[in-house]
Structures are given as C-alpha cells and as structure tokens.
C-alpha cells in the first residue's frame, strides 16, 4: 500500500533538524506540504520555501492551528523543548493536547510523531519522560497517531552525531561516565526520514508506537571506537569512571563539543539506560530496503560534512528571543533604552568583495578581532549555562535566516547589503550586531552597528562595564574586516 500522490502533509518544527529535512522528502514523494511556524521568516531562505505553504502559529498557544490543519491528510508533530526551561514538561504536554484537539476538529486523518526510544519499566529522565508523555497524549486523542521511537540518530548536523564526533576526534584518551557502557541501537537519519514519510502508508486507523533503529546494537564506547576507525583515527583509550553525574557529564560534553550543556544534558540522560528496540513490527508492516549500518551511516555523514553539504543542524531549532521583543530596525524604539556602538570604514574594493567577507564571518574564520577575547566571552557564556563558543556554522560560505553562528543567530540577511545577528549568549537584555555594505560618494563603505537593550539595573551596569573594551573589540573588528575585503579584492583582481 502506498500513500496517494497529492495528499496534504502538515509539518511542525520545519525549522528544526528533522523537520527541515523531512519537508523536501515529502515533496519528492508527491505530497503537498504546509508548514506551521512561530516565525515564518526563519523558513524564508530554505531552498524548498517557494514550494510549500507556511502558516504562522504556535502549538502551545493554539494560534494558527485551525488554519494549518485545515484539509491536512497527515500531520507531522516534530516539536520538542530540547533545551528545556522551567516549565518545558508542562509546555510540551499542553502543546501536544492543543495540537491533537485541533487535529480532531479539523478531521485530520493521521498524526505522526518522532519520540525517543526508552525501555519499559525504567525510571526516565525528565526529558525522556516528557517525550513519552507527548506520545501517550497523541495516542489517546481522537485522531489515530503513529509514534516512532528512535535512539541516537546518525547524520551530519544532528546533536547526537556532533557529540559523538567531537568527543572522538578531540580526545585520544578519555575518562568517561558509566553511560558509555549503555547499549544503543543507532539509526541513520536518512532511514528515519524514509520511515517518517512511509508511516503514512500504514493501514487507516493505525494507532500505536513503533520502535525504529539500525541493524546493530552497540555500547556508546563501541560507537566511539567504530567512529574512530571510519574516520581514520587511532583507537581511543576509554576509562569509565563512576563519579560523573548527568549534570557534570553535560558540562564536560559542553567543554569538548559544540553541543552546549543545556542540550547535552538530555542527550546524556537518555544514555543512562539502554535504548534498544523491543520490537521491529514496522519492518513487517512496511517492508523496504536495508537500513544502513553504523559504519556506513557515519561515512555518509562525514562525507557531507567534508563536502559542506549539511542541510540542517540541531542548533537551527533554537531561537530563544521573545516574539514581543522589538527589532532594532523598528522606526520607533518602543522597548526603552537602546545602547549602540557604530563603526564605519572605507574599503578600497568592490561591494561584492566586502559582502563575501561579511557573509563568511564566524566559525573557523573567526570574528576579525581579538580571538582570545571572543573565545573568552564564549567560555564565560558556557560557564553560566549559555550556548558557548563552539556552534560554528552550517555552511562555510553561505548564511540563511535562522542559521546559528557561534553564539549568534542570523535574524536578517539581505544578500549584498545587510547581515543582522542576534545574540544568543546569556545577557541582561537582547543584543544585536549588524554588518552592512554601503556606498558613499562612489566608494564602498563597511558599516557596523552593535545594539543592546538593557533589562533592569543589571543591563545598564553590563553595558557600562564592557564599553571601555568596545574600541578594541569592535574597532579592530571593523578595521580588520575592511582590510580583509581589500585583500580579497586584490586577489580577485589578480586572477
């Protein structure tokens, strides 16, 4: 049985790691696709944007759900508070209930949800328990639900894969917590996506969970050693120790890998117990091609990283700014005080050469200003529970709205003209950094603007404390970007 072409599929979480990859798979399978997004602007630069319908809405508030679900044959629920928060358990449950109720009222034929794989009868972490509860809420609703449960997902850009990759690459020898002995059944991301699409082929009325996984069961320590072999690295020395709690483990992971402690903790907690399929019924319901083994999945993921073809990343889903926060481009600043730092430099080169430097900022290229100062700011942020300095870039040359960029987020990009970044580090108020290409009297000008909206006394004191360093940090940044653009212009002219 196959799903008829032209069915309408609603995708929530389309700006996230799985959702962003599922949309083109559904389109390729012949579905019409609609996306529900709290911030539709985040999807603007996706290569598939002009082929889908986007509805502004939110599963927790219920805004836009009726419109998004209207006429939907299948709805993919890919929403989860990975980075937590004070009330994430309640928020996740409330979002699932509202979504299920709205789907029932809209006459949606099926809900498909991707949850986590956990053994029955085991005390689960708060995050894993929350994902299980979301699955139960959807299964108990009036609309039939298919809940797929997966353990570690292997794919370029996934948080699980980046954690595994960087631990292996950066630590020839490591003392590790006991969870490295846990048995895991990892699965390639391309297999997860195929099964999500094919879940709509199940018989009408199917309402149950299915465990999904790859063909092998490995301990996390074995995954590290197998990864090292595939990557051409020497065998790693692993010494398990009993003293690292999940909290300490997540801090350790945050220091070594790009995954900050807030995201690493639920990943680590999910490894405290075995994550192995208890059944493989979906393979009988939907016979298909062989699922990829661990080595092949790792090899494909590394190849995409080497070729700079990482379509989505785990960090794409996080955007902690509140919708009510005004933007610095608003004609009237309605949020109170606004501190600014402006810099401008003439550039002896074309606007195109300057834009190439601007769009290539961050990641391995750095920020053209006092690398130790930027690194120190990132490590301080990591120490207080922020995202830290290691997230890097999705693509070394191109940016799109919603991309994470070290401890910034691309909030706006006008190719050739403007790059606006919003800070995701922990600050006593929202902050932005704007990099702009301008023309003045026939010359190229680099314009740079840092903005900070203080919240409370702490915000004002923070700006006063860092202002003396702006001349060094922001001033040298402007000068070095202009100089680099001039160098690039000379190289281009010479070729």
For residue 332, what pLDDT band results from cuts at 50, 70 and 90?
Answer: very low
427-434, Cβ contacts within 8 angstroms, sequence gap of 24 or more: 427/452, 427/459, 427/462, 428/454, 428/455, 428/456, 428/458, 428/459, 428/461, 428/462, 429/453, 429/454, 429/455, 429/459, 429/462, 430/321, 430/325, 432/327, 432/328, 433/408, 434/328
Mean pLDDT of 329-340: 60
More confident residue, 337 or 276: 276
Using the predicted structure, report yes or no on whether residue 348 has a pLDDT greater than 90: yes
For residue 363, what pLDDT band results from cuts at 50, 70 and 90?
Answer: confident
Mean pLDDT of 342-354: 94
Question: Can you give the C-alpha Rg of the chain in angstroms?
Answer: 24
pLDDT of residue 333: 45
Per-residue pLDDT tens over the stretch 369-406: 888 777 777 777 777 777 777 788 888 889 988 888 88
Using the predicted structure, report yes or no on whether residue 323 has a pLDDT greater than 70: no
pLDDT of residue 357: 96
Per-residue pLDDT tens over the stretch 85-124: 557 888 899 999 999 999 999 999 999 999 998 877 677 7
Which pTM value belongs to this model? 0.77
- Residue ranges and CATH numbers for the domains of the chain are 8-317 (3.40.50.720), 339-494 (3.30.530.20)
pLDDT of residue 1: 44
More confident residue, 104 or 317: 104
Supply the mean pLDDT for the chain: 86
pLDDT of residue 345: 95
Mean pLDDT of 77-89: 73
Signed CA dihedral, 157, 158, 164, 167: sign only: positive
Using the predicted structure, report yes or no on whether residue 439 has a pLDDT greater than 90: yes
Using the predicted structure, report yes or no on whether residue 354 has a pLDDT greater than 90: yes
């Amino acid at each position: 049985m196959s799903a008829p072409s032209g069915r309408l599929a609603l995708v929530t979480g389309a700006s996230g790691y799985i959702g962003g990859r599922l949309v083109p798979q559904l389109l390729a399978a012949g579905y019409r696709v609609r996306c529900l997004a709290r911030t539709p602007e985040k999807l603007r630069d996706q290569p598939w944007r002009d082929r889908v319908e986007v509805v502004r809405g939110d599963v927790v508030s219920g805004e836009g759900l009726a419109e998004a679900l209207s006429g939907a044959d299948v709805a993919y629920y890919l929403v989860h508070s990975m980075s937590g928060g004070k009330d994430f358990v309640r928020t996740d449950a409330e979002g699932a209930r509202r979504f299920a109720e709205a789907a029932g009222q809209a006459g949606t034929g099926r809900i498909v949800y991707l949850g986590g794989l956990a053994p029955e009868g085991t005390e689960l972490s708060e995050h894993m328990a929350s994902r299980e509860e979301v699955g139960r809420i959807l299964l108990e609703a009036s609309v039939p639900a298919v809940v797929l449960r997966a353990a570690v997902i292997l794919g370029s850009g996934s948080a699980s894969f980046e954690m595994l990759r960087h631990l292996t690459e950066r630590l020839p020898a490591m003392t590790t917590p006991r969870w490295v002995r846990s048995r895991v059944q990892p699965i390639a991301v391309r297999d997860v996506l195929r099964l999500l699409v094919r879940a709509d082929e199940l018989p009408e009325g199917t309402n149950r969970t299915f465990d999904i996984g790859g063909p092998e069961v490995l301990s996390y320590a074995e995954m590290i050693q197998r990864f090292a072999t595939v990557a051409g690295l020497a065998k790693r020395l692993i010494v398990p120790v009993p003293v690292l709690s999940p909290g300490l483990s997540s801090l350790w992971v945050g220091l070594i890998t790009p995954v900050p402690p807030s995201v690493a903790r639920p990943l680590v907690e999910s490894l405290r117990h075995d994550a192995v399929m208890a059944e493989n019924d979906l393979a009988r319901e939907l016979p298909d091609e062989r699922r990829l083994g661990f080595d092949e999945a790792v090899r494909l993921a590394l190849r995409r990283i080497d070729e700079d073809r990482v379509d989505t990343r785990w960090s794409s889903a996080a955007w902690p700014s509140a919708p009510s926060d005004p933007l610095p481009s608003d004609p009237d600043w309605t949020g109170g005080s606004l501190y600014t730092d402006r810099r401008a430099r003439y550039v002896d080169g074309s606007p195109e050469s300057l834009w190439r430097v601007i769009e290539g900022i961050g990641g391995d290229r750095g920020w053209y200003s006092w690398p130790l100062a930027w690194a120190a700011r990132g490590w301080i942020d990591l120490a207080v529970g922020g995202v830290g300095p290691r997230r890097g870039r999705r693509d070394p040359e191109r940016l799109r709205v919603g991309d994470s960029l070290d401890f910034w987020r691309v909030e706006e990009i006008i190719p050739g003209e403007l790059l606006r970044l919003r800070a995701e580090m922990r600050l006593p108020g929202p902050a932005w950094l704007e990099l702009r290409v301008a023309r003045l009297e026939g010359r190229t000008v680099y314009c740079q603007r840092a903005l900070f909206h203080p919240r409370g006394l702490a915000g004002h004191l923070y700006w006063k404390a860092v202002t003396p360093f702006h001349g060094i940090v922001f001033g040298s940044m402007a000068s070095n970007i202009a100089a680099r653009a001039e160098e690039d212009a000379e190289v281009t002219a010479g070729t």
